[in-house]
C-alpha cells in the first residue's frame, strides 16, 4: 500500500506550490496531481459547486488507488473538507491546507494579531476564524478577500506591475498593517510572497502554508506506516482543461519543467 500514489488537487496549477514542497520533502512518493482548470477559479464559486467538483475529483483519485488525498486548495478545503472526509469513508487518508496552518498558529502565535488574505470562498466560509477561535489562545484574527490575485498569478503575472497594483489596493489596510503575521490563504500566493513581505517593509511575517502542509502529510503517512521507503517518485500532472498558457506557467509554480496532460473528467 505504501507505494500507492498521493493524490493532490487544486482548482488549477496553484496547488503545484504544495506539490513541490511535498516532492522536496518526500521524493520517493508517487504522485497524481489534478488541476481542475476547467472550473478555475474556485474562489468565486458557490459552496455547492465546489463540493460537486471535489467529490468527482476525489472519486477519480480513489479509482487511481491513492493512499492519501491532499486538497491543495484553500477554497476547496473550506467548502468541502468535511464532505470529502465522509465521502472517502476511510478508504484513503485526507489532508487539507487549513488545519496544518491552524496547528502552526497554535504553537507559535498565542495572543498575536494574525491576518489572512484568500479567495472570497475561503474568507466568507469563516472556516479559519472558527478554527482559530476554537484554539482559545487569544489570537486576534482578521481575513480579507483578495479575489483578483489568484487569476492574475495563474495567468503568469506574479512578477509584474499588475500584481504590484493589486497589492496596493488590497494590502493598504490598517488592520492588516497592524498584524504580527499574515497567512497566505491561497495556494497560488507563495509566488507573490516576497512582494507581499516587501509591501510591509518585511515587518510582518508572511506565512506560506506549503511546507507545513507537506510536513503534515509526512506525519499522517508515518503514523499510518504508509511512507514509501522504496525508490519511486513517479509523477503525473493532469488538468481538466489544457491550454498552452497553463503548460507554460507550470514551471513557475513547480520550479521545474513538467509534462501536463489533459484528463477528460468532465467530458
List, by residue number, the catalytic residues. 73, 186
Binding string, residues 85-114; x marks residues near ligand DGL by CB under 6 A: ------------------------------
Q: Which is nearer to ligand DGL, 5 or 190 (CB)?
A: 190
- Residue of 51, 96, 119, 125 that binds ligand DGL (CB under 6 A): 119
Helix (H) or strand (E) holding 142, with range, is: strand 140-145
DSSP string, 217-241: HHHHHHHTT----SS---EEEEESS
Write down the number of H helices and E strands in the chain.
12, 10
Q: Closest residue to ligand DGL, Cβ-based?
A: 43
Minimum CB distance to ligand DGL, residue 65 (Å): 25
Q: Which is nearer to ligand DGL, 91 or 126 (CB)?
A: 126
Smallest Cα–Cα separation from 16: which of 258, 265, 221? 258
Q: Which is nearer to ligand DGL, 199 or 253 (CB)?
A: 253
Q: Which is nearer to ligand DGL, 31 or 226 (CB)?
A: 31
Residue partners of 37: CB distance under 8 A and separation at least 6: 11, 12, 13, 239, 240, 241, 242, 243, 246
Q: Is 74 in the site for ligand DGL (CB under 6 A)?
A: yes
Q: Is 29 in the site for ligand DGL (CB under 6 A)?
A: no
SS3 of residue 28 by DSSP: coil
- Residue of 14, 35, 100, 190 that binds ligand DGL (CB under 6 A): 14
Q: Is 210 in the site for ligand DGL (CB under 6 A)?
A: no
Q: Is 41 in the site for ligand DGL (CB under 6 A)?
A: yes
- Residue of 21, 73, 221, 258 that binds ligand DGL (CB under 6 A): 73
- Residue of 42, 141, 253, 263 that binds ligand DGL (CB under 6 A): 42
Crossing angle of helices 16-25 and 244-254, in 10° steps, is 40
SS3 of residue 178 by DSSP: coil
Question: Which conformational region is residue 139 in: left (phi greater than 0), alpha (psi within -120 to 50 degrees), or beta?
Answer: beta
Q: Is 33 in the site for ligand DGL (CB under 6 A)?
A: no
The interface with ligand DGL within residues 137-196 (CB under 6 A) comprises: 150, 186-188
Question: Cβ distance 213 to 24 under 8 Å?
Answer: no
Question: Cβ distance 228 to 3 under 8 Å?
Answer: yes
Catalog residues that contact ligand DGL under the rule CB under 6 A.
10-12, 14, 40-43, 73-75, 119, 122, 150, 186-188
Amino acid at each position: 500500500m505504501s507505494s500507492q500514489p498521493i493524490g493532490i488537487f487544486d482548482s488549477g496549477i496553484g496547488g503545484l506550490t504544495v506539490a513541490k514542497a511535498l516532492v522536496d520533502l518526500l521524493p520517493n512518493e508517487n504522485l497524481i496531481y489534478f488541476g481542475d482548470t476547467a472550473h478555475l477559479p474556485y474562489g468565486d464559486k458557490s459552496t455547492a459547486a465546489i463540493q460537486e467538483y471535489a467529490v468527482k475529483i476525489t472519486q477519480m483519485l480513489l479509482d487511481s488507488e491513492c493512499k492519501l488525498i491532499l486538497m491543495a486548495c484553500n477554497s476547496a478545503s473550506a467548502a468541502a473538507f468535511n464532505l470529502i472526509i465522509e465521502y472517502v469513508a476511510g478508504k484513503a487518508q485526507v489532508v487539507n491546507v487549513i488545519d496544518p496552518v491552524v496547528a502552526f498558529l497554535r504553537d507559535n502565535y498565542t495572543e498575536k494579531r494574525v491576518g489572512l488574505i484568500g479567495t472570497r470562498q475561503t474568507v466568507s466560509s469563516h472556516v479559519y476564524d472558527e478554527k482559530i477561535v476554537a484554539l482559545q489562545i487569544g489570537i486576534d484574527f482578521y481575513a480579507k478577500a483578495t479575489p483578483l490575485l489568484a487569476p492574475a498569478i495563474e495567468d503568469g503575472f506574479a512578477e509584474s506591475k499588475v500584481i504590484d497594483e493589486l497589492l496596493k489596493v488590497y494590502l493598504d489596510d490598517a488592520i492588516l498593517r497592524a498584524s504580527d503575521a499574515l497567512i497566505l490563504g491561497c495556494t497560488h500566493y507563495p509566488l507573490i510572497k516576497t512582494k507581499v513581505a516587501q509591501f510591509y517593509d518585511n515587518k510582518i511575517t508572511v506565512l506560506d502554508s506549503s511546507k507545513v502542509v507537506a510536513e503534515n502529510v509526512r506525519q499522517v503517512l508515518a503514523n499510518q506506516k504508509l511512507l514509501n521507503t522504496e525508490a519511486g517518485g513517479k509523477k503525473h500532472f493532469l488538468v481538466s482543461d489544457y491550454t498552452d498558457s497553463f503548460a507554460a506557467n507550470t514551471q513557475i509554480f513547480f520550479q521545474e519543467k513538467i509534462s501536463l496532460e489533459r484528463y477528460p473528467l468532465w467530458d
